Structure 1
Amino acid sequence: MPTCRHDTHELAWASEGTATLTIEGIPWVVSPECAVWIPKGVPHKVPVLRKAIVFPLWFEDDAPAPDWEATTAVWVSQELRSQLMRYIQSRFGSGETESAERDTLLGMLPSHAQHEPQLPTPSDPRAAFVAERLLADPSDARSIEEWAKEVGTSSKTLQRAFTSTTGLNFVEWRMRARLRASLPLLAQGVPVSQIAERVGYSSAPGFITAFRRQFGHTPTAHGQPAEA
């Protein structure tokens, strides 16, 4: 994937399908329910897209953009989705209309900010192989011993590979991957019990406990815009 770096802020959003952008070594998912704000100058990689329609929206410094210094996930409510579409359509009209729709869109973003758990990509090829499989299927419950056997190493070596290249041990990394995978499902209104099973938890209470520890609130409270 080619690395991009812009002199403008970018809001990446998928109107259909999902895509994973790699931003400073961390995978971020964009979907109809989740956009990603990329501050200017931040390097990121965009995959070849075949099953997703992704809109990269760029904003100059004179735009009333959020003062986010770090990459930020944005929950796309129905209201925000409608505004996104109005802004995209306005870009084919008059400049005055585009400016108004842009300012309205940017003004809505702060109340839709989501803070996803950071998920560094392992640089060790064995750990990277395991991480890629877990991102594709977070419900995979294989132990580190089982994964180590698959990649032809010992569990201790694989554990060190995760810790030394991500700062997280295997269990911590997998937990964060599962919680990240749960966010688009929550935005779609999937019941918590189903989400827990789909992202690898044996019970809903276990998922809720892990989620609360990471985000400070329950899954059902997540994705609610902050009150003005």
Structure 2
Amino acid sequence: MSNTRHQPAAPTTSRDLAAAATVTPHWHDENQIVYASRGVVAVHTESSRWIAPAHRALWIPSGTVHSHRAYGVTRLHFLGLTQNPLKLRSPSALAVSPLLRELLIAYTSLTHRETPAAKRMRLVLLDQLATASEQPVHVPAARDPRLATVCSLLEADPSDSRGLDALGRVAGASGRTLTRLFRDELAMTFPQWRTQLRLYHALRLLAEGVSVTSVAQQCGFATASAFIDVFRRSLGHTPGSYL
């Protein structure tokens, strides 16, 4: 990302973003948790895109260039960390339990964080983060131009149901070559990547108030029931909970 800003300290704070508002590319010398208690936040890095509804938080390691975009009116909570309680070296989406949610909201909203009560809250928060499981909804970016062409086609129309052989005829590569590229470059199978892409777009549309039936159609699911099933298995909740 060009024109990135360096903010040495990762702030601990809460802020509201209007629908479609953005935070331009920047990086910190500290680790950071980004959580949206309302709305949906997407985080873009140089190699991937991540999206987090209210049951997910995003872990951004120090030195990672990233930008934010809000879908729907969004309440963001930022937690700066000099330590790495998760032992993760790359961005990830984390499951947020009800307790972790309340801790993130309460701690990032504090005016004074040096009181004994605030310090105890931070210790519990770090303990909860250390045990949070990874629950990604992310879309890794392709580098190979043939693979990037296929990804761009599906980005433009997530409902495109063509298989790799048909897409490969446009990209100038065989279905077998593309299958290998998905595995070697993106560490996913083609169906896994396409499902992540469709869920990414689905979360954006749901945050903007689009109906479940319409989201299913726009994102390429055969039926609304099929969409609900994939959504629940992937995220642990029904899409209706995000409307």
> What TM-score do the two structures reach when normalised by structure 1?
0.63
CA contact 1:35–1:74 (8 Å) conserved in 2: yes
1:121 is displaced (CA, Å) by 1.1
Q: State the one-letter code of the partner of 1:33.
A: H
Tell me which moved more, 99-108 or 172-181.
172-181
Equivalent residue for 1:177?
197
Equivalent residue for 2:136?
116
CA-atom RMSD in angstroms: 4.3
Unpaired segments of 5 or more residues in structure 2? Answer: 5-24, 205-214, 238-243
Distance between the aligned counterparts of 1:198 and 1:50, measured in 2? 17
% identical equivalent positions: 18
Equivalent residue for 1:85?
105
For residue 7 of structure 1, the aligned residue among 29, 39, 61 is 29
Distance between the aligned counterparts of 2:60 and 2:65, measured in 1? 8
Distance between the aligned counterparts of 1:45 and 1:114, measured in 2? 19
| 1:53 paired to 2:75 | yes
- The 5 Å alignment of 1:78-157 reads 78-90=98-110, 92-96=111-115, 97-116=117-136, 119-123=139-143, 124=145, 126-133=149-156, 137=158, 140-144=159-163, 156=174
Distance between the aligned counterparts of 1:142 and 1:221, measured in 2? 23
Unpaired segments of 5 or more residues in structure 1? Answer: 185-194, 212-217, 224-228
Higher helix proportion, which one? Answer: 1
1:71 is displaced (CA, Å) by 2.5
148 and 165 in structure 1: CA distance in 2 versus 1, 3 angstrom threshold: same
Distance between the aligned counterparts of 1:132 and 1:85, measured in 2? 33
Q: State the one-letter code of the partner of 2:40.
A: T
Aligned to 1:113, the other structure's residue is in SS state coil
Aligned to 2:140, the other structure's residue is in SS state coil
Aligned to 1:114, the other structure's residue is in SS state coil
1:111 is displaced (CA, Å) by 3.1
| 1:219 paired to 2:233 | yes
CA contact 2:30–2:61 (8 Å) conserved in 1: yes
Higher strand proportion, which one? Answer: 2
Distance between the aligned counterparts of 1:66 and 1:169, measured in 2? 27
> What TM-score do the two structures reach when normalised by structure 2?
0.59
Q: State the one-letter code of the partner of 1:45.
A: H
Task: Count the aligned residue pairs.
Answer: 199
For residue 28 of structure 1, the aligned residue among 40, 45, 50 is 50
Distance between the aligned counterparts of 2:126 and 2:92, measured in 1? 13
Distance between the aligned counterparts of 1:95 and 1:46, measured in 2? 29
CA contact 2:94–2:136 (8 Å) conserved in 1: no
1:12 is displaced (CA, Å) by 0.6
